[in-house]
Structure 1
Amino acid sequence: MRPRKPRTLKQHLIRRLLVVIPASLLMIVVMKTGWLDMAADRLTFNKLAWFDNTKLVEHLRVLVRHNGMTDEPARCLVFLVNGDDPPTAMRVDVMAKHTEGCPHPDKKPQQLFTVRVDKVDRILTTDAGSPGVFHPMGS
């Protein structure tokens, strides 16, 4: 067997680019489609997280965007937790803020819909699309 010729710098760079460019494009697609957020949510949101309002709101942020319940960017959504509800159930008003970097920056915040959360039975209902009439929210 003859020994191989050493790779030139050009060959080395081309081989690296053939790996880096498709991997970078794949990561961009995964981020833009929301797959990365959904995967992180599935890994971190567990049964105990239903009783942690911060984790629950982040879970709702992912679900609302994933289920297409609003076209607002995730950074423009505000979740207002009703503090008067019992500890095992709560209502969350989903609002669209209109500040710099969000659509319609001069308008005041508007309520999009409400999500009711049954923490014990882990059930989400929403009135999105039918104000005041609640239906199960896809998870």
Structure 2
Amino acid sequence: MTETSNAPPRLTRRRAPLTLRRRILRRVLMVVPMAGLVFLVGRMGWLDQAADKMTFSRMSWFDNTALVEHFRTVVTHNGMTSDAKDCLLFVLNGNDPPDATRIEVLEKHSGSCPGDRNTLPHLFTLQIDRLGQSAQTDWQSPGLFHPLPH
């Protein structure tokens, strides 16, 4: 007489348990490429651009801190300056009207930023229309404003 078991039939064959060495090797083979990818994406600035797109909204045009952080990302990623984000100083003129706010962009020379520590070279000016949600710059043409390069 044969005994019948109530266990469901197996669809796959059973594997031998993994050794500690194989588990470690699998994790290393997963972590190293992922860490390299995260490093590459961070160095390319894609994380900064993605964060800026997600956080900068219509109301951010009226928040000075959000506006400066947005344009800090924009001017470093569209080729207007080769300086690092931390080496730029944005000076906002608080007395300007909302449709013609000016932001002076200066090159900072302190901490890890190279250059003569006694100078703050003027790079360009941004003219911001908060109501129209647009920006212009005099980059490469001092005193003559034109739309930001893409």
TM-score (norm 2): 0.87
Q: Which runs of 4+ in 1 moved over 3 A?
A: none
- Aligned pair in 2 of structure 1 residues 126, 2: CA closer, same or farther (>3 Å)? closer
After superposition, the C-alpha distances for 1:73-115 in whole angstroms (9 at most, x for unaligned) are: 1111000001220134300000011112102143411110000
Equivalent residues of 2:109, 2:119 under 8 A apart: yes
Counterpart of 1:111 (choices 102, 118, 122) is: 122
The residue type paired with residue 36 of structure 1 is: L
Query: How many percent identity over aligned positions?
Result: 46
1:26 aligns with 2:40: no
1:84-99 to structure 2, matched below 5 A, reads: 84-99=95-110
TM-score (norm 1): 0.94
Shift of 1:52: 0.5
| 5+ long unaligned stretches in structure 1 | none
| 5+ long unaligned stretches in structure 2 | 1-11
> How many residues were matched structurally?
139
> RMSD across aligned C-alpha pairs, in angstroms?
1.4
Larger Rg: 2
